[in-house]
Structure 1
């Protein structure tokens, strides 16, 4: 009897091990490489392998479910294809998962075949080693080449500077020697009376000015004009900060977001199209993406920056919003971010972003590209703010002076095919065509009130 029980227990253990091994083998039957592609396409918005996002971490999920819940891959197939039907069937663990994750229903994937799911599970059980990013290697190689070239150029410039300094010193020495020789020749040729006279003669600035007063007055006039010009330039430069690019409390690279990832400007600056002011995006806008993007995995690296730097800046976003990535909830106290403003229109100036972005979009793009054939733009924002998608740190790209705005109004043609302009200025367009026949029907912004003071100043 005892012997029979021992054999029975050994049999149960063997069956359990067999089921576990079968589940693991079943998961490993898939193609991890194809599973990785399917995972990134269908699952990566809510899951990673190593940590919880919207849903749980999926690394080793097959073995974990077998050990903790005694569930095999068939359960996972049912859950992935239609988890709602599985919950409604009364499955205990399916409902527990649903309750644990705040009753957030997972998107069903009935389109995935059994082979696709096996591939995904194979990837979660045995993910292939990540291949080195070709873009990153190319970037690093290019940076190394640029650094080497810069170093070589610096060495050449240093050598050239040394040669130039030595040459100047030699020339200066020759000039001093020639002056001394000339002085000696003069002393030898002058008479004793002339020498005594030169020794007693006194020279003064007053005597020179009396003798050459016309030249003196002319020089004073030139100096006065130069001084006036310098003061005028200084006064006109007040409030002009072209090239200003302050450090921000959280590093944000427009090159990565707008350039590498092709994120549209208006996704973050939504009020630029429909409002007067293009606002600074709230931290909630950042969290729309970074709730699920907790680390930088891009190929592009700005010189002097590394992955750890970018990951640290993402953590600053979490600290500012009070987000806890472990619990996937806002459990900490949020902290305000003191952004440094770059563009700040004076209070006495009226400027409406919507008027330019919507009504003037095509006209501004067309005008800019005609005036700058080597600096073409595809988005209206770039006409004023420069090619932001190439800037690691955003800077003020233009003067933003009154003269700069007026020059734009004088050269930008009104879009006659714009639905708003075509209807609103219908009669005015016909009048202007007759008034400016040489323009061949092309009307610039100044002709429809673009230079009137009251358009921009209250």
Structure 2
């Protein structure tokens, strides 16, 4: 205890040189890709590094300054400890930071020595707008269905009650005067209003047929479908809060027919250095431990050992539940829409939805994915839905390729479709041909 006290006293002036608040910002901006305060990642844990180096190697902050600014040069000078660290961490070269001033490094060291207490968690952010909207629509639909069912149930109860009365009358060997009058009056009423009754029954039959047909038409339409996944992944946190580009994970959407489910190695590109969740955003009912637990599932799936910072080779495949799935007889090319149709689709969507504009082409079909905690199917994805898009989306004629390719066609279409005011939609260039989408 005396030794530790003397060490702290002897190094106290060093700790007073930096600003821990500014150091925290610099640490998160420059160091968190490879370092944490309390555990080893790609590099060693940096909590208490000043005192540790002083005690173990008798090195002061001047050595740390040299290492941070240009560790390669420090190793080339023959510095023994610098080369030992390089060998110990599998000869992984640390990034050079010549842009950091001495004051910046002192601030970072102050943060590693005396980190400020964490800020209190913010009030939980409400669930995403897309999910809230869907739940509102579902609630209204449920009320309509409930009222309709109650009305039908009431009619059936009344009908059953009347039939019960008639059955009792038929079972009676002798009709009382009152029953005779009731039976006679019912027969007269039926005979008098039989035409009206048949019309009502016919209308009910038509209504029932329409309901059945409408039900058939919506088979395979799963708008609002949002299944639970084996590993919880919030697009709100990744694409929304952290602004990660969709195509960083779904890279084949730009270059191929299918937008693939990212492999777990794509997740590990970031989570190799992010073993726990420290973000400010928290969903209602979830804490940081929940998100950290999901990150550990990624490690289990990929066979990543945190302690040794290496792969064990023991992997565990993840069985994701697919959400968007085109029928086999439908041809849909993501690249064609993401690349060639990007500006046209975004422009068309924003014209039709001025209060719900998008900035990424993916959102036109998949909804505002960057606000979804649990991904759901945001649109119908029916044939009619696709055709309507082709009818209303104008071809981007500011594109140099399109200008050259459609130069002759443009004038022809103006004459053929004078009401279009010279606008070329996708339907006018073959977007309505069956063979474009069906084999």
TM-score bucket (shorter structure): 0.7 to 0.9
Secondary structure at the counterpart of residue 422 of structure 1: helix
Q: Does 1:124 align with 2:112?
A: yes
Which protein is bigger by CA-based radius of gyration? 1
Residues 1:61 and 2:49 aligned together: yes
Shift of 1:397: 0.8
Q: Alignment partner for residue 378 of structure 1, among 349, 359, 362?
A: 359
Q: Among 187, 199, 203, which residue is 2:183 paired with?
A: 203
Aligned equivalent of 1:37: 25
Is 1:426 the equivalent of 2:407?
Answer: yes
2:69 is aligned to 81
Q: Indicate the larger mover: 77-86 or 445-454.
A: 77-86
The Cα of 1:197 is off from its aligned counterpart by: 5.4
The number of residues matched between the two structures is 390
Tell whether the 8 Å contact from 1:283 to 1:321 is kept in structure 2 after alignment. Answer: yes
Report 1:268-417 matches (<5 A): 268-331=249-312, 333-417=314-398
Stretches of structure 2 lacking an aligned partner (at least 5 in a row): 128-174
The offset of 1:381, in angstroms, is 1.1
Cα drift, residue 97 of structure 1? 0.8
Aligned equivalents of 2:384 and 2:45: distance in 1? 58
CA gap of 1:332–1:200, structure 2 versus 1, over 3 A, is same
CA displacement at 1:127 relative to structure 2:
1.8
Q: Deviations over 1:96-152 (max 9, x none)?
A: 11111110011122233333322222222222222335xx14x47x89xxxxxxxxx
Moved more, 208-217 or 364-373: 208-217
SS at match of 2:410: helix
Q: Aligned partners of 1:368 and 1:105: how far apart in 2?
A: 47
Q: TM-score, normalized by length of structure 2?
A: 0.83
Q: Contact between 1:324 and 1:332, CA under 8 Å: does it hold in 2?
A: no
**Which structure ranks higher in relative contact order (CA pairs < 8 Å, sequence separation ≥ 6)?**
2
CA–CA distance in 2 between the matches of 1:107 and 1:390?
34
CA contact (8 A) 2:394 2:425 kept: yes
Distance in 1 separating the partners of 2:290 and 2:257:
35
Once the 2 structures are TM-superposed, how far is the Cα of residue 215 of structure 1 from its aligned partner? 2.1
Instruction: Determine if contact 1:24/1:62 at 8 Å carries over to the other structure.
Output: no
1:252 match: 233
The answer to whether the 8 A contact 2:7-2:55 is kept is no
Q: CA deviation at 1:20?
A: 7.6
C-alpha contact 1:32 1:120 (8 A) present in aligned 2: yes
Question: Which stretches in structure 1 are left out of the alignment for 5+ residues?
Answer: 1-12, 144-194
Q: Could you tell me which residue of structure 1 aligns to residue 95 of structure 2?
A: 107
1:412 to partner: Cα distance: 1.2
Q: In structure 2, what is the Cα distance between the partners aligned to 1:54 and 1:271?
A: 29
1:444 to 414, 425, 430: 425
In the alignment, the residues of structure 2 paired with residue 117 and residue 202 of structure 1 have an alpha-carbon distance, to the nearest angstrom, of 100
Q: Displacement of 1:348 after TM fit?
A: 0.3
- 2-structure distance, mates of 1:246, 1:399: 16
Which of 177, 202, 217 is 1:236 aligned to? 217
Q: CA deviation at 1:24?
A: 4.8
1:348, 1:457 within 8 Å by CA — same for their partners in 2? yes
RMSD: 2.6
Which stretch of the first structure deviates more once superposed, 340-349 or 58-67?
58-67
CA–CA distance in structure 1, aligned partners of residues 70 and 181 of structure 2: 113
TM-score normalized by structure 1? 0.79
| Equivalent in 46, 50, 67 of residue 34 of structure 2 | 46
Deviates more, 1:374-383 or 1:334-343: 374-383
CA contact (8 A) 1:363 1:414 kept: yes
CA distance in 2, matches of 1:444, 1:345: 24
Secondary structure of the equivalent of 1:319?
A: helix
**3-state secondary structure, aligned to 2:183:** coil
> What's the CA shift for 1:265?
1.1
1:235-279 deviation line (CA, Å, top 9, x unaligned): 101101111000111111111111111111111111111211111
